[in-house]
Structure 1
Amino acid sequence: MRLSTWEHQATDYPSIGTDCPEYEPRGCPRGASFSWYTYSPGRVRYPYVRGALPKLWLEARKRLGDPVAAWSEITSDPAKARAYERARGEGGLVRADWDPVSELIAAAQVHTVKAYGPDRVAGFSPIPAMSMASFAAGARFHSLIGGTLLSFYAPRASTTAGWSRTGS
């Protein structure tokens, strides 16, 4: 004898009636919480950067004028690279302004493409269930530059990447 069971997670979605199963955006226990991320009071609303990096970035950017050259200098100088890499995993993140951080990210990606090739730029977009527009924007950007888009689903083996992109 084989017995199969299914447990619905507690949700606060409106009921669609007693004659069919309740709506579940994902089969996993945490799937129903995706809609709360946007409204959570604990969500990250500003960019945060490791403490040593903003100082290095702003100084190199001001002196060199070119953002890509500034990033290249920071990453190619072992002492400067060590100054911010050593702090990984130890906290020390500081709130930063959007404009310099956006420029730093863009410069790092351009530098990576120039130095190592576009396939060395890997992106991780939000899950399609959370924001299809945001997911599509990230997927399209990486497709245009020749980068790699990592799958949200593959590490969890809950659905295939193809399903989330094509719906079939």
Structure 2
Amino acid sequence: MDSIKDRLPASITTDRLVLTTPTLAHVPDIARLANNQRIYEVMARLPFPYTEADARFFVEEIVPSQDETCYAITRDGVFMGIVGLTYHGDSAPQLGYWLGEEYWGRGFATEAACAVVAAAKAAGVPALRSRALVGNAGSRNVLRKTGFAEIAHETETINNLAGRQLVLMHLELDR
């Protein structure tokens, strides 16, 4: 039986963006944009400082794993960030994303997230989940615009966000 990852497209095109598999060619841009304290402070799994070795590990180990579907967010060939799904057993896949700070506030995260949600729905995924820091209004707004509803709060116990309050969000796709 094929996995959700197998049913998702290799690339997605929107009005302004192309979402495609991150490659080694993206490594310098991933490292440059992700090496940002403001991004690190809102991401659970991003190291800081973020180096080209971290970006290479991401492209070579995380991207091809069966636990993730990752897309490079690009516009006119320029790398802007990452969006994708993480799979945890029988739980609904979790939508996650980050954009380089220079691209914040222009609707790119919402456009990329909506494209991945539409692809997941077309692939037969019944629901998605996501989460954001309580104080990360920008990310919570992206998720609300994408159709997610806030369902609960929890305190993170591991990773970069340990001890911080998160909003858990859910989106039904089979309606």
> TM-score when scaled to structure 1?
0.29
Task: Please say which structure displays the higher CA radius of gyration.
Answer: 1
Higher-RCO chain (CA-CA 8 Å, sequence separation at least 6): 2
Q: Considering fraction of residues, name the structure with more strand.
A: 2
